[in-house]
Amino acid sequence: MRAPISTTNALTLNQLLTHQNIPNPADFYFDQSYLYLDSSLETLTPTLFSDNDLQPENNDSVNNGWELVLLSSTTISQLVDICQFAGIKLVKLNRINHRLGVSSYRFALQATDINAARKLANQYALEQSLELALIEQAPSLATPGLLVMDMDSTTIEIECIDEIAKLAGVGEEVAEVTERAMQGELDFAASLKQRVATLSGSSESILSEVASQLPLMPGLRPLLDLLKSHQWRIAVASGGFTYFTDYLQKELELDATQANVLEIVDGKLTGHVLGDITDAQVKADTLGRLATEFSIPTAQTVAMGDGANDLQMLAAAELGVAYKAKPVVLQQADCAINFSGLDCLAHWLK
């Protein structure tokens, strides 16, 4: 057995674990003095728990398939706090992933009430500006999958309709309606028609002006490059407009897009949307249709979004991810990314 390593609770998981040749998987639990990480119960670091607090148990409280995923910047002190706050026991270090320059750690866990544990863990993460995920049976990066993303405020940093409205001179009026729709306070289809109507008579050139400078969300390109290298399919399903999803499809080499069509006559917006509205149900249907078209099993599907119009799509996917989302979405999504770029998703996947 190696000699104990002198550490403190201020160390990060990366500082403690990355260079310790930890086997995968490894038994993992705390007692009053130490953190144990392998079958020989090798001493690695002092912790704060009493002797029986987090011993592994073989009983009905074991949640098969559930994992707590933490990034390398998480400190040992935060790990202790998460376990105490959320009422969970870590019983095995399932895997260490090194992706896109960051390490992450996947722990098997026990909890008597997994739903309460996930809610409390997410609450702690928000309060501490920390990224974590408590996930059941996450899709695997190593197997081909499907990612369907919302566009506005997810794939790109702006709400396109708000930017169009600014150029059309109705910015404040439209932005207020957009915010209420994203919070789930308004019917999406009705609110979209209301907002588009205010654009009647505006020049098509304002669409081109917005499209020419779409700000991609941080981490988007590295994430897509990684997924594509593992034969994942990528799509955007948006309550926005094809004028912009078409641009993104070409720019990012997306496999598919779904969005609304603005009516343009003689170079002017008419204030109408052509055809059916891409609402929450259409987004969810798009995910299912693309999974079938690309022969991707549901277990390998991921959806990401930030507004109420994304909820059905997130529920339809195996993993629904709230990205810097509204409270109504955070409460219902499987997991969240609140402070990092989109490339954080690489670590929520197995």
Distance (Å, rounded) from C-alpha 286 to C-alpha 283?
A: 5
In order of 35, 70, 205, the CA distances from 104 in angstroms are 18, 6, 45
Q: What end-to-end distance do the CA atoms of the chain give, in Å?
A: 30
Spot the catalytic one: 38, 51, 53, 152: 152
State yes or no: is 152 an active-site residue: yes
Q: Is the dihedral of CA 151, 152, 158, 162 positive or negative?
A: positive
Residue 104 structure tokens: 């992450």
User: What is the per-residue burial (b if ≥16 Cβ within 10 Å, else e) of 58-69?
Assistant: eeeeebeebbbb
Round the CA-based radius of gyration of the chain to a whole number and report it: 23
Residue in 260, 310, 328, 86 with CA at minimum distance from that of residue 320: 310
Catalogue the E-assigned strands of the chain. Answer: 26-27, 29-30, 35-36, 62-71, 89-99, 102-110, 132-136, 146-149, 233-241, 256-265, 268-274, 301-305, 319-323, 335-337
Answer whether 34's CB lies under 8 Å from 87's CB: no
Spot the catalytic one: 53, 60, 150, 246: 150
DSSP state of 157: S
So which residues are the catalytic ones?
150, 152
